[in-house]
Homo-oligomer: A and B are copies of this chain.
Amino acid sequence: MLHVAEVARVSVATVSALINGTATVSPELSQRIEQAIRDIGYKRNAIARSLKMGTTRTIGLTVPHITNPFFTDVVSVIQQAFDRAGYAVMLCCTDEDLNTQDDQIRLLLDRMVDGLIVARVGDGAILKRIVDDANVPVVLLDRVCEGVDTDTVVLDNQRAVFDAITYLIDLGHRRIGYISGSFDISPMHDRMTGYREALQAAGLPVENELVRFGNFHEVDGYNATMQLLSLHDRPSAIFSANNPMVIGTMKAIRDIGLSCPEDISVACFDDFPWSDVFQPQLTTVAQPVQAIGEQAANLLLDRLAGNRDAPPRKLALKGRLMIRNSCRPLGAIAQSISA
């Protein structure tokens, strides 16, 4: 900029004024400056600008796994939204690990991101502290966090699973296996509650042996399913509370020599692009990923636009049960249908 100013024979203040339109500069000087900018190929240094302005026009986004199709889609939507608004987004994957998450949030905060969208991992205590003394707006995505009172976008997980399990019950299933992720994130807790309540509402017992826990990965779903299928009285249906784990479920079913839906019905959380192309077409709870991503982006953009003092806004969106052919009717229901 100094160089431009010299070539155009003006002061740097004038160049800055022209570039930012913060003051009127005469046509004559404008032209000289613009010419100089072109000649030199000048590009404004956003780092220096950020230092002075105290804003980077960059936000941080952390998700547990980008390969989980839910997060893939949400990241994609959020990236587009901020791109439109002229923001860059720094992406971090925490790999469901608490320490990694802390490090990454600190990394982002160090770099003076203007805001943060976090699909958090683990206990919220550390996150709360980090967020409190960093003075940037934060929106929590997918997972609420006790004690962190900030904008939030989540799914109504309890209701969504309630509906899915009720659907299975209506099909005649009585023993329904349930594979959960660990309880330290809210959706897993809420989904489990939905499972329990659906059973109770139908007068069915909640049996501990039918509930298994895994760490969100395919292999966990595989192991959990193996355990469920080797029960003395095995379930006739399995619901997996997350998407990567259901792959393990399907592989376990295959490896044990059973088939879906003939021998066992399967449903899971999170839709994916291939779900209605291959057999079996998986019955899933689809999250409104577009809406979730957009709402999260909007909440943050609104804060960034200056609306700092509004009370925290909590959005809970509705999931949608996508009924396909991976769950079959059982018992009396099946007979009345085939009759």
Binding site for B on A (CB under 8 A): 41, 43-48, 50-51, 56, 58, 65-67, 72-73, 75-76, 79-80, 83, 86, 88-93, 95, 100, 104, 107-112, 133, 218, 244, 247, 250-251, 254, 272-274, 276-280, 282
Contacts of A92 in B (CB 8 A): 79, 83, 88
| A100 CA / B277 CA spacing, docked (Å) | 31
Contact indicator B72/A88 (Cβ below 8 Å): no
Contact indicator B93/A91 (Cβ below 8 Å): no
Q: Least Cβ distance of A282 to chain B in Å?
A: 8
Contacts of A95 in B (CB 8 A): 80
Q: Least Cβ distance of A97 to chain B in Å?
A: 11
Q: Least Cβ distance of A41 to chain B in Å?
A: 6
| A83 CA / B91 CA spacing, docked (Å) | 10
Contact indicator B88/A108 (Cβ below 8 Å): yes
Q: Least Cβ distance of A208 to chain B in Å?
A: 28
Contact indicator A88/B111 (Cβ below 8 Å): yes
Closest to A68 in B: B72
Given contacts A93-B76, A93-B80, A104-B83, contact A110 B46 (CB under 8 A): yes
| A279 CA / B260 CA spacing, docked (Å) | 11
